């Protein structure tokens, strides 16, 4: 049996002292205030054992990691019809690029870049009675944790400086691929990104991607084919224009966020979350990527 606790402790102590931790995201002013020295790791194995190291119990902004959860709620609710409005190809572009969107007539490349997540947000706004509350409730049920919430300061901070997302939403609207009011969709999107969770809560939320669509309590949210599709999207599109590098170094489906979190899964084995706010040039957590590379190397476990 693999001693995950020992491995995680080793990784934490190997990385804790590293000097170049990358740079904390500053384009959302609230995120620029985060201490770059934080480093947390949490792994939940397939039988529900928990292994933690470092700042795994501190809340952080999940940002783009929320895109996997909004996609899941949308996919579970609307099924394959969603693929008429968003494609499933990696973009090879940074998360907020708009050029492809114009080139491809308003159909975003995939649901994990901003334009794709905005289309997913639009579908949720159309189909949920109280969109923000119902999405939050979905996450609370997945994790069996009612303490999870939005950070209004972060949502407002992003709203004030979110020019590229505002442009993306307007471009989508001009192509007819946004059905609701632009401001309402953006408000939903900024709120979903502002959700705060710790490594443990996020590993619990991602448990269903490791466990054939069932959360830890046993409730099924996604069928096996849907899980396959979401994991495939995470592997090919989960790390901006560094998805190839993440597959190459780590070998797990996962998703990063500019808050410095990374959530990843090894189907039927574990879900794991790292948090280190310093980002590399491509916008992925610098130490988080290194921690996960060490995890799959030391355990010799990856999807490959
Ligand atoms: N809310 C951020 C944005 O849209 C999320 C970016 C990210 O985490 O990749 O710019």
User: pLDDT, tens digit, for every residue of 78-94?
Assistant: 999 999 999 999 987 77
Ligand 1 pocket member 95 (CB < 6 A): yes
From ligand 1's centre to the CA of 71, what distance in Å?
15
Pocket test for ligand 1, best of 257, 261, 285 (most atoms within 8 A of CB): 257
Res 168: pLDDT: 94
Strands (E), the chain: 23-24, 40-45, 50-54, 60-61, 196-197, 254-256, 261-266, 270-275, 278-279
Domains 4-63+196-299 and 66-195 share a fold: yes
Ligand 1 pocket member 165 (CB < 6 A): yes
CA distance 25 to 283: 8
Ligand 1 pocket member 155 (CB < 6 A): no
Res 103: pLDDT: 78
From ligand 1's centre to the CA of 279, what distance in Å?
13
Residue 280: enclosing H or E segment and its boundaries? none
Ligand 1 pocket member 56 (CB < 6 A): no
CATH number for 66-195: choose from 3.40.50.1820, 3.40.710.10, 3.40.640.10, 3.40.50.720: 3.40.710.10
Ligand 1 pocket member 63 (CB < 6 A): yes
Res 91: pLDDT: 85
Residue whose entry in the numeric block shows the structure tokens 């410095």: 260
Nearest-5° Cα angle at 270, 269 to 273: 160
Q: Which ligand 1 atom sits nearest the alpha carbon of residue 64?
A: 8
Ligand 1 pocket member 158 (CB < 6 A): yes
Res 95: pLDDT: 65
Domain ranges across the chain: 4-63+196-299, 66-195
Res 93: pLDDT: 73
Tell me: the pLDDT tens digits for 193-208? 999 999 999 999 999 9
Tell me the CA distances in angstroms from 101 to 67, 68, 87, 97, 116, one per residue in order.
Answer: 18, 20, 11, 8, 9
Ligand 1 pocket member 302 (CB < 6 A): no
Res 304: pLDDT: 97
CATH superfamily of 4-63+196-299: DD-peptidase/beta-lactamase superfamily (3.40.710.10)
Tell me the CA distances in angstroms from 224 to 78, 141, 151, 220, one per residue in order.
Answer: 16, 19, 33, 10
Q: Which ligand 1 atom sits nearest the alpha carbon of residue 259?
A: 8
Question: Which of the residues in the chain have pLDDT under 70?
Answer: 95
Res 13: pLDDT: 98
> Which residue, by CA, sits nearest to atom 2 of ligand 1?
63
From ligand 1's centre to the CA of 90, what distance in Å?
17
From ligand 1's centre to the CA of 256, what distance in Å?
10
Three-state secondary-structure class, residue 285: strand
Residue 160: enclosing H or E segment and its boundaries? helix 152-161
What predicted TM-score, i.e. pTM, was given to this entire model? 0.97
From ligand 1's centre to the CA of 137, what distance in Å?
21
CA distance 280 to 289: 9
């Amino acid at each position: 049996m693999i001693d995950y606790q020992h491995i995680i402790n080793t990784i934490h102590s190997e990385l804790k002292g590293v000097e170049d931790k990358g740079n904390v995201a500053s384009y959302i002013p609230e995120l620029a205030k985060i201490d770059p020295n934080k480093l947390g790791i949490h792994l939940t194995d397939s039988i529900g054992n928990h292994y933690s190291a470092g700042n795994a119990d501190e809340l952080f902004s999940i940002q783009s990691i929320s895109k996997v959860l909004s996609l899941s709620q949308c996919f579970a609710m609307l099924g394959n019809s969603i693929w008429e409005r968003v494609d499933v190809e990696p973009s090879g572009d940074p998360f907020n690029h708009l050029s492809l969107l114009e080139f491809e007539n308003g159909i975003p490349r995939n649901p994990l870049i901003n334009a794709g997540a905005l289309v997913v947000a639009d579908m949720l706004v159309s189909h949920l009675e109280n969109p923000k509350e119902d999405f939050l409730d979905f996450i609370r049920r997945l994790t069996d944790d009612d303490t999870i919430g939005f950070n209004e300061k972060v949502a407002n901070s992003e709203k004030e400086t979110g020019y590229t997302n505002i442009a993306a939403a307007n471009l989508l609207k001009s192509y007819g691929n946004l059905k609701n009011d632009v401001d309402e969709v953006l408000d939903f999107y900024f709120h979903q990104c502002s959700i705060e969770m710790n490594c443990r809560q996020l590993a619990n939320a991602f448990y269903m991607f490791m466990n054939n669509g069932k959360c830890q309590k046993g409730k099924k949210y996604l069928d096996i084919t849907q899980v396959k599709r979401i994991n495939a999207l995470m592997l090919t599109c989960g790390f901006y224009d560094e998805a190839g590098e993440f597959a190459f170094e780590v070998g797990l489906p996962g998703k990063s966020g500019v808050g410095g979190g990374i959530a990843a899964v090894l189907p039927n084995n574990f879900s794991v979350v790292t948090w280190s706010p310093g980002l590399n040039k491509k916008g992925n957590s610098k130490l988080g990527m290194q921690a996960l590379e060490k995890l799959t190397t030391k355990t010799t476990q990856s999807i490959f």
